[in-house]
Amino acid sequence: MSASYTVDDLLPKIQENIDAMDYPMAYAFCEKAVALAPNDIRILELLGQVEIELEKFPEARQHFLQAVQQQPDTGYSKYMYLGQLSVEKEAIAAFQQGVNLMMAERQHASMDQDAAQLLAEKIATALCSMTEIYLTDCCFEPEAEQKCEEYLQQAQQVDPTNAEVYQLLASVRLSQQRNEEAAQILEQSIGFWIEKEVGDPTIPNYDSRLALVKLLLEVGMVQHTFMVLERLQKENDQVVDLWYLYGWAYYCMGEDETNQQQEEDRLTHWEDARDCLELALKLSKVTGYDDEALLEHAKELIASINTVVPPSAPEEDVVVLPEDEADYESDGDDAMEM
């Protein structure tokens, strides 16, 4: 690389390699650029982004902090990255500064509708991240519950049809043991996207919808659970959590069938549950899945089902037929041959 390169020469090369997902090469160009201009905020932010991709998290955090020192009052992106790389109240403070800058930018009359909506989604995402910190790492802080309410109310105002905001609000209601309200909010959340075509950007991502299924099961909305699972299955059916949740949902359906007339349905649901849970365990071996708690629960559910509905004989077992049925079976085999 020629020593005559300037920062302005290097910037497009960095971006070109980021776009191509060649992060080691982007990092090499970043190092050259930062040596030329160690306080150039453009370089610091790009370097931080590349370091995140290379899992150099402490270095990335340091470079975003440096970018904040250079330009604290403009540019919200560095605060969003910094929030992700920080913990507890430091993370909340970074997200809050980013939200403040985005809210100010949103007031610009020149912003078109699409840009305004994209910014609203980013604000809502940041507020959700702040809420999650108060639900987890900062849950024992005296202001935790009040802050969760404030952030989610603000998120609803900014982006009133954001399904993930309502899903998180339902999670808060569950933590408050307000299960009926949680169920109503979850139904509202699903309604924002369930009829949309696959690929619509407003549909929550796959992992978020897996988390949604767990919430639905927690409030007993089993039919809604299957609506969500069927959508997920069409998108990707090679996910351990998908089949575990299918199994858990069928198991819950079986538990709900309590009277004598429903006994047959209960056994059917539990057989379906076992099939799904066994598929989850098989997939876990193929994919190297490592959530031991989930796999252990799947095994416990299967063992519980087996005490009520004994498993069928393995497929490879030979079944001896009576002589008068043997010819019929043979004919049937011939009919099924391809």
Do residues 47 and 10 touch, judged by C-beta distance below 8 A? no
DSSP run (H or E) holding 212: helix 206-218
pTM of the model: 0.82
Query: Between 106 and 328, where is the model more confident?
Result: 106
Count Cα neighbours of 75 within 13 Å in the Cβ-side half-sphere.
15
Q: At 329, list the tokens.
A: 């079976």
Of 85, 160, 176, 177, the residue nearest 123 (C-alpha): 160
pLDDT of residue 242: 97
pLDDT of residue 234: 93
**Residue 299 pLDDT > 90:** yes
Domain ranges in the chain are 238-312
Read off the pLDDT of residues 40-94 as tens digits, 9 standing for 90 and up.
999 999 999 999 999 999 999 999 999 999 999 999 999 999 999 999 999 999 9
In whole angstroms, give the CA distance from residue 54 to residue 26: 10
pLDDT of residue 333: 43
**Residue 314 pLDDT > 80:** no
**Residue 1 pLDDT > 80:** no
Count Cα neighbours of 294 within 13 Å in the Cβ-side half-sphere.
20
Read off the pLDDT of residues 8-31 as tens digits, 9 standing for 90 and up.
999 999 999 999 999 999 999 999
Mean pLDDT rounded to a whole number for the chain? 88
CB atoms within 10 A of CB 291: 13
In whole angstroms, give the CA distance from residue 232 to residue 212: 11
Of 125, 128, 202, the residue nearest 161 (C-alpha): 202
pLDDT of residue 2: 45
In whole angstroms, give the CA distance from residue 259 to residue 261: 6
In whole angstroms, give the CA distance from residue 287 to residue 310: 28
Count Cα neighbours of 67 within 13 Å in the Cβ-side half-sphere.
26
Q: Looking at residues 215-237, what average pLDDT do you find?
A: 94
Instruction: Give the type of residue at 304.
Output: S
Of 239, 251, 307, the residue nearest 279 (C-alpha): 239
Of 163, 186, 182, the residue nearest 173 (C-alpha): 182
Q: Looking at residues 197-218, what average pLDDT do you find?
A: 93
**Residue 322 pLDDT > 50:** no
